[in-house]
């Protein structure tokens, strides 16, 4: 049996630089792993299969065929590495879907690492990153984890020094947001170089004001799509919460806290009724064997 976890991420910055010829958007983003993760349990089998348990507030349904990122990763390795056997994969899902937390990418990264061990493929980190880039934009980051500047469509990962330990409280409304829907509503006025490089400069110089450079150029669009998201961000402003932002294309808002007690207090005091919330901290790791 092989056990592996895939960690969620938040986007400390997200700059949109333009539309590419291949249909993707050119972006620049400082991504950060957090200690919220899904767990994969892999057992021997003659066929490839996926089962799962979904935690309350995470998702009502997920596909268990090749529409699922775990199965996409499994079939890619199986075919390109000439694997003759299968695997029974069971996923314990804790990262919400349509949340901007990279749950699907985290699961794919975990599948690559877990099946590399389970099938005794002996793939190097570089070879795993090549497979990850074939599967999706954020998956190369999810393999490595920690803190990184990601470029291109997200597949070009430049590792950065780790952040000092930071506690994070996550808030997600009952409704999620489709990444494709958010990107399809963008226009040329939304494209510009934002604050990613300023954040990186502050991080490298150990400037405590680095979080003042957090930004997400998808946040306004997402708030227009979800009125409840706009209302929550207005509440955070009104209450003077210093550091908060939407992650990815939404719909999760994260709030940074100075310690665990403040993170838990934010969760207790700020979470709207029926919203999913979770208090955690940053991590310097991505997917890993357990």
Cα–Cα distance between 181 and 190 in angstroms, integer? 15
The whole-number pLDDT of residue 54 equals: 87
Q: How many CB atoms lie within 10 A of CB 165?
A: 11
Fold of 1-290: Ribosomal Protein S5; domain 2 (3.30.230)
Q: Which class for 50: exposed (0-12), middle (13-18), buried (19 or more C-beta within 10 A)?
A: buried
Just list the catalytic residues: 9, 138
**pLDDT one-digit tens code per residue, 22-53:** 656 689 999 999 999 999 999 999 999 999 99
Q: In this predicted model, what pLDDT tens digit does every residue of 60-90 receive, in sequence order?
A: 788 998 999 999 999 999 999 999 999 999 9
- Given this model, what pLDDT does residue 58 score? 76
CB 48 within 8 A of CB 36: no
pLDDT of residue 228: 96
CB–CB of 8/103 below 8 Å?
yes
Q: Is the peptide bond before 25 cis (omega within 30 degrees of 0)?
A: no
Q: Report yes or no: 247 and 11 within 8 Å, Cβ to Cβ.
A: yes
Two tokens at 57? 């507030």
Residues 6+ apart with CB under 8 A from 106: 6, 7, 8, 9, 37, 38, 95, 142, 286, 287
CB-count exposure of residue 149 (10 Å: 0-12, 13-18, 19+): buried
**In the chain, which residues have pLDDT < 50?**
none
What is the rounded CA–CA span in Å between residue 142 and residue 8? 8
Consecutive H or E run containing 203: helix 196-204
Helix (H, G, I), strand (E, B) or coil at 245: strand
What is the per-residue pLDDT for 93? 96
* Dist CA 224 CA 216 (whole Å): 14
> What are the backbone angles phi and psi of residue 260, rounded to the nearest 5°?
-65, -40
Residues 6 or more apart whose CB falls under 8 angstroms from that of 184 comprise none
The pLDDT of residue 250 is: 86
- pTM: predicted TM-score of the whole model, two decimal places: 0.93
SS3 254: strand
Predicted local distance difference test score (pLDDT) of residue 73: 98
pLDDT at position 242, please?
95
pLDDT of 144: 95
Which pLDDT score, from 0 to 100, does residue 269 have? Answer: 97
């Amino acid at each position: 049996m092989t056990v592996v976890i895939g960690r969620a991420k938040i986007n400390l910055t997200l700059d949109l630089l333009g539309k590419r010829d291949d249909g993707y958007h050119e972006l620049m983003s400082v991504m950060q792993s957090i200690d919220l993760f899904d767990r994969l349990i892999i057992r021997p089998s003659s066929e490839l299969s996926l089962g799962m348990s979904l935690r309350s507030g995470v998702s009502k349904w997920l596909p268990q065929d090749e529409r699922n990122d775990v199965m996409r990763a499994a079939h890619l390795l199986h075919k390109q590495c000439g694997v003759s056997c299968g695997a029974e994969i069971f996923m314990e899902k804790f990262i919400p879907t349509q949340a901007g937390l990279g749950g699907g990418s985290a699961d794919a990264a975990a599948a690559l690492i877990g099946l590399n061990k389970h099938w005794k493929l002996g793939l190097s980190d570089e070879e795993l990153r090549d497979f990850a880039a074939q599967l999706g934009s954020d998956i190369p980051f999810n393999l490595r984890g920690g803190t990184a500047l990601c470029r291109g469509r997200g597949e070009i990962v430049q590792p950065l020094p780790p952040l000092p330990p930071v506690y994070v409280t996550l808030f997600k409304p009952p409704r999620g947001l489709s990444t494709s829907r958010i990107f399809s509503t963008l226009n040329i006025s939304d494209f510009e170089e934002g604050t990613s490089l300023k954040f990186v400069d502050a991080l490298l110089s150990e400037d405590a004001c680095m979080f003042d450079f957090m930004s997400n150029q998808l946040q306004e669009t997402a708030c227009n799509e979800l009125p409840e998201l706009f209302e929550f961000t207005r509440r955070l402003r009104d209450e003077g919460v210093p550091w908060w932002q939407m992650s990815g294309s939404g719909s999760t808002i994260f709030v940074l806290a100075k310690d665990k007690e403040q993170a838990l207090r934010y969760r207790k005091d700020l979470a709207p009724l029926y919203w999913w919330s979770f208090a955690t901290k940053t991590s310097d790791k991505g997917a890993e064997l357990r």
